[in-house]
């Protein structure tokens, strides 16, 4: 830890390239950015924050890694993206002030660490929520367009070399799109659908206006509202409150032929009730980037359903993700040093 209140000792506890470590130093010179690339697991691909699990530290390296992590005022990343490692360093380091998780849904990792209430009150936890908003919003637009234009039917006809009678495709600018969750991802979705001419509705707890949203909806009114919309875009995090929110009651009430796109957490949608809704046409098409259990079970009917597009939780992945998260860390470090509120703070009651 640093004894200078105008500086912070920031330990990089996950793989981050040297150029991005230097970028953080340039963006916020009051940070002492501590890293040792020989002690973190190497990435296997873009934004592989947990690193190669086959890469093992020697006992001496593990001791050096733990000592480095335990010296932090603030942490870039949960060590090895391992809740148990977070719990260990929180116990060992009473001066730890802030941990930034590299995942947008990092609240679930904090919850899994099973920290004491004292620790949760002492340390601020933030996530990268919003960093992935643009890429996920593009997938949501792609998914709704795929449903509106009948992608499943087009692929089936192409594969069977069938030239059918012409049929009418839907237009996004004639659709009402409901964005369930107007956080960072949802706001980006709303902006893009609005630009395409759609009527955009969105659920909100706060009631604060969001650019591109024509009508704000209270979450408790979801069942009544879904019967009036043409597409539903789910962006919510996975919490006890959102678990199976899109379940039997909502899916029974949807406007027949609705399109569904899911880019939040898979636990928000009850897949056992989604399948019959797909079979009887209540949901005409579903573009799913997230699932209740991942990887998706090879026996799941979702794999082969003609009106489902399966994406292996990859819609957010971008070669620019690491830089965006590094910039977010530097920005929040400046906020912490200046006594301003941090962005994307984890609610340590609901853990999102």
Residue 25 tokens read as 């130093």
Unique residue bearing structure tokens 């929180």 = 90
Residue 269 tokens read as 């949608």
Q: Provide Rg for the chain, Cα atoms.
A: 22
Let me know: does 14 contact 79? Beta carbons within 8 Å: yes
Strand order in the sheet with 31-34: 31-34, 8-12, 74-76, 98-100, 124-126
Q: How far apart are CA 101 and CA 81, in angstroms?
A: 8
What is the CA angle 323-326-330, rounded to 5? 140
Would you name the residues annotated as active-site residues? 265, 294, 313
Q: How far apart are CA 262 and CA 31, in angstroms?
A: 38
Let me know: does 342 contact 125? Beta carbons within 8 Å: no
Residue 33 tokens read as 């950015």
Let me know: does 49 contact 102? Beta carbons within 8 Å: yes
| 201 three-class SS | strand
* Start-end of H helices in the chain: 18-27, 59-70, 83-92, 107-112, 117-122, 133-148, 151-159, 184-195, 222-225, 248-253, 271-279, 321-337
The candidate with the shortest Cα–Cα distance to 260, out of 282, 237, 236, is 282
């Amino acid at each position: 830890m640093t004894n200078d209140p105008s500086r912070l000792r920031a330990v990089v506890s996950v793989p981050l390239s040297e150029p991005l470590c230097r970028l953080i130093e340039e963006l916020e010179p009051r940070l002492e950015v501590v890293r040792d690339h020989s002690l973190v697991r190497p990435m296997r691909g873009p934004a592989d924050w947990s690193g190669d699990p086959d890469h093992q530290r020697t006992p001496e390296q593990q001791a050096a890694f733990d000592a480095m992590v335990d010296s932090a005022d603030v942490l870039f990343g949960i060590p090895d993206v391992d809740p148990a490692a977070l719990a260990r360093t929180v116990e060992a380091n009473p001066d730890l002030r802030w941990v930034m998780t590299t995942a947008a849904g990092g609240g679930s990792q904090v919850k899994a660490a099973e920290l004491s209430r004292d620790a949760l009150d002492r340390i601020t936890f933030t996530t990268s929520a919003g960093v992935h908003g643009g890429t996920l919003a593009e997938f949501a637009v792609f998914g709704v367009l795929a449903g509106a234009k009948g992608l499943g039917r087009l692929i089936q006809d192409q594969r069977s070399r069938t030239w059918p009678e012409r049929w009418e495709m839907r237009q996004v600018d004639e659709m009402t799109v409901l964005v369930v969750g107007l956080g960072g991802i949802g706001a980006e979705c709303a902006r893009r659908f609005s630009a395409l001419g759609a009527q955009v509705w969105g659920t909100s707890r706060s009631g604060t206006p969001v650019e591109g949203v024509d009508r704000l909806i209270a979450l408790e009114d979801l069942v009544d509202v879904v019967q009036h919309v043409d597409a539903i875009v789910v962006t919510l995090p996975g919490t006890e409150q959102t678990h199976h929110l899109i379940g039997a009651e909502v899916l029974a009430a949807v406007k027949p032929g609705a399109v569904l796109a899911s880019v939040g957490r898979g636990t928000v949608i009850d897949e056992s009730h989604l399948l019959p809704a797909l079979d009887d046409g209540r949901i005409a098409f579903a573009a799913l980037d997230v699932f209740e259990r991942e990887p998706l079970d090879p026996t799941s009917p979702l794999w082969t359903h003609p009106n489902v597009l399966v994406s292996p939780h990859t819609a957010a992945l971008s070669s620019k993700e690491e830089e965006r998260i590094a910039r977010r860390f530097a920005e929040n470090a400046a906020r912490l040093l200046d006594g301003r509120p941090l962005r994307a703070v984890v609610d340590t009651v609901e853990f999102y």
